[in-house]
Structure 1
């Protein structure tokens, strides 16, 4: 079975969030007044939904990502330089650093939050030298 993953995130200000994710180098697809899709790759997209729209799907109270973490979204890239590039773009666009650089010989990883406080990680899996 071939499948595409759509993760849905509530956002307070859709235009501000669209600006943030395009500054990271992602393209947007399927935009409407209350939602837009951030294309990660052909198999994964992150749907940005305004909080009222998100609430209609969730059926429960919308969590405040600045106060708790329900999910960590990880974007896998090809090399450590791309991890640093994505991390630097996120900070330049208004995101905040999360945690410390992880470089244990198997992974190179840096975390940041988006403008609504959702936790993201840029990750490169490193093949150890033989």
Structure 2
């Protein structure tokens, strides 16, 4: 079995969040989805497991942070081009998220933007020219 990542995220509205994650390129896995959770597959090895806040609370004894008030992590998503970085950011904004919550970063060999999902979780789609970074090491 390959190493996989399951990013568990508490959300207010499971239906709205499911639509949002579909808009940014995820596919819903019905086998692991119900009224409390939506399994949103990003790739063969990465899945966003969206959970209602009540259901999410059954997995932890700690208080659940409000991602609109505090950031606990930034989720970077690799893309194959600058255009794909722009496209996913614009799709996020059109689907109820917020685009460019900080200034675009263009370092020539790397380009990234930042968006929030409807609950305030922060994503950074990014593109990197790996050949240019290899040349930097020489």
Q: TM-score range by the shorter chain?
A: over 0.9
- For 1:94 and 1:10, the matched residues in 2 are separated by 16
Structure 1's consecutive aligned runs of 4 or more residues displaced over 4 angstroms after TM superposition are: none
Bigger-Rg structure (1/2): 2
Aligned to 1:3: 3
CA distance in 2 between counterparts of 1:41 and 1:60 reads 29
Match of 2:93 in 1: 91
Q: CA deviation at 1:128?
A: 2.2
**How many pairs are equivalent?**
130
**TM-score between both structures, scaled by the size of structure 2:** 0.89
CA distance in 2, matches of 1:70, 1:19: 23
Q: With structure 1 as the length reference, what TM-score do the two structures score?
A: 0.94
When you count strand as a share of all residues, which structure comes out higher?
A: 1
Contact 2:25 2:42 (8 Å CA) reproduced: no
Selected match of 1:63 from 53, 62, 65: 65
Counterpart of 1:113 in structure 2 is: 116
User: CA RMSD, aligned part only?
Assistant: 1.4
Q: Structure 2: which 5+ runs fail to align?
A: none
Paired position in structure 2 for 1:43: 45
